[in-house]
Amino acid sequence: MRLPGRRCAQWPAIPPVIRNPPLEQSPPVSEPLLPERARVPRHIAIVMDGNGRWAERRGRPRAFGHRAGVQAVRKAIECCLRAGVEALTLFAFSSENWKRPATEVRALMDLFLRSLRREARELAENGVGLRFIGDRARFSPELQAQMASAEALAPQALKLTLNIAVNYGGRWDILEATRALAREVAAGQLQPEDIDQARFECHLSLAALPEPDLFIRTGGEARISNFLLWHLAYTELHFTDVLWPDFGEADFAAALAEYAARERRFGLTGAQVRAAGAAHA
């Protein structure tokens, strides 16, 4: 199943005040976590790589690494809340991960189910809204039901939207959006020439959210691996050798610091960007 597109009534809009709250209203934040308050990414996407190697280095089964990965997920959520990040999108299971050994796939499904049962309520109580993106039809009815009930626990005051990509692929996402638009054209509801970027994005999984500002991949590989192919067009990329279960507050702070030091140009010249910045100062 796929959530219908967008702009998009059923996904709550992110309250803009969360982004850079006035200092006196801010939660306590350790200094190194916020290198520059004004340059905090609104949306971070993470490929959590390295669980298997982390476990193998300890002579343990790969599932042990995935369980340790859940602890790192908790830390990342806490860091996002403290830094004022509005959305976090995690690649938990790709459409290609079904090809892994059956024991590992079973262990991951079991881990998702148990983690959701254990954590969903507490996340909502802490202002974290959960969403799943990807094709859920292949998951067990029990897991699908658990995902739906976790999404239904909408927090009263949304601080962070947490998207978990499961059985997700960037190409699948683009194809689904294309099919949805083709259906609208076939039904006479839409003219092909009316298809523009905004309308296309309406049918993508992360429709109601800002595009990721920062992409992080742990585990030493420097590739996107069919994650958010459309959305990463202008995203700043941060690759680290740290294995996901070891990715902690200092690593998160380092990624934020690197992001804050980047000049995002979106096709403009550096001089144009600096002039625009000075005009808004």
Q: How far is CA 24 from CA 28, 31, 85, 86, in A?
A: 10, 15, 17, 19
- CA–CA distance, 118 with 163 (Å, rounded to integer): 17
- CA–CA distance, 205 with 5 (Å, rounded to integer): 7
**Stretch of 3-11, 110-118, 128-136, 193-201 lying at the interface with ligand FPP (CB under 6 A):** 110-118
177 sits near ligand FPP (criterion: CB under 6 A) = no
| Of 5, 41, 50, 129, the one binding ligand FPP by CB under 6 A | 50
Q: Are 200 and 177 in contact (CB under 8 A)?
A: yes
Q: Are 239 and 217 in contact (CB under 8 A)?
A: yes
To ligand FPP, the closest distance from the beta carbon of 51 in angstroms equals 4
Instruction: Give yes or no: 49 in active site.
Output: yes
Select which of 20, 97, 126, 226 is catalytic: 97
Q: Site mask, ligand FPP, residues 178-207, x = CB under 6 A?
A: ------------------------------
Closest CA to 169 of 86, 66, 98: 98
Residue 230's contacts (CB-CB under 8 Å, 6 or more residues apart) are: 170, 173, 174, 201, 204
Site for ligand FPP in 113-132 (CB under 6 A): 115
**Stretch of 9-17, 30-38, 46-54, 273-281 lying at the interface with ligand FPP (CB under 6 A):** 46-54
- CA–CA distance, 87 with 212 (Å, rounded to integer): 8
134 sits near ligand FPP (criterion: CB under 6 A) = no
Closest CA to 70 of 111, 105, 100: 111
To ligand FPP, the closest distance from the beta carbon of 48 in angstroms equals 4
To ligand FPP, the closest distance from the beta carbon of 205 in angstroms equals 16
To ligand FPP, the closest distance from the beta carbon of 107 in angstroms equals 10
Collapsing DSSP states into helix, strand and coil, what is residue 131?
Answer: strand
Instruction: Give yes or no: 97 in active site.
Output: yes
83 sits near ligand FPP (criterion: CB under 6 A) = no
Q: Are 250 and 272 in contact (CB under 8 A)?
A: no
| Of 18, 40, 48, 120, the one binding ligand FPP by CB under 6 A | 48
Query: Which residues contact ligand FPP (rule: CB under 6 A)?
Result: 48-53, 62, 66, 69-70, 73, 90, 92, 97, 111-112, 115, 164, 219, 244
What positions carry a catalytic annotation? Answer: 49, 97
